[in-house]
Structure formats: structure tokens, C-alpha cells
């Protein structure tokens, strides 16, 4: 997870926001600058019954 530069968290309206953020926060590397975290409350997701969607973007320098 050290190469992750941003997280996107989509949370279905009515889901537990603290649990959603906690799912992403568990993977944050506290030894370096934290990645950008963007969160949004949405009406629904593409997978029926899903409550939270996490997307990570990583960057590798060559």
C-alpha cells in the first residue's frame, strides 16, 4: 500500500460512515504523508446490496 496516492470511498446513503472510513484508514501508512482521501454519499452502487466501494490509485516513479 506504500504506492497508493489516493483513495475514493463511495458510501450508500444510510450506511455507517465511520465503518466505511475505518475500512480505508486501516491501510494508511502513517510513516509517510497520507494519500488523498475522497468520500461521497451515493444513492446506490453497481453491485446490488453493496454498501461501500473503495478504489485505490497507486503511482510508481521510474
State the residue for C-alpha cell 509517510: 32
pLDDT of residue 24: 66
At 12-44, the pLDDT tens digits run: 999 988 887 777 677 676 777 888 889 999 999
State the residue for C-alpha cell 475500512: 23
Range 40-59 average pLDDT: 94
Total count of domains within the chain: 1
Domain that residue 22 falls in: 4-58
* Short-list 39, 36, 46, CA closest to 17: 39
Say what the pTM is.
0.78
State the residue for C-alpha cell 446513503: 13
**Calpha distance 52→44 (Å, rounded):** 9
Amino acid at each position: 500500500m506504500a504506492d497508493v496516492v489516493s483513495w475514493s470511498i463511495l458510501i450508500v446513503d444510510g450506511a455507517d460512515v465511520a465503518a466505511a472510513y475505518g475500512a480505508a484508514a486501516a491501510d494508511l501508512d502513517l510513516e509517510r504523508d497520507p494519500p488523498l482521501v475522497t468520500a461521497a454519499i451515493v444513492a446506490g452502487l453497481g453491485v446490488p446490496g453493496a454498501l461501500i466501494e473503495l478504489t485505490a490509485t497507486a503511482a510508481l516513479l521510474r
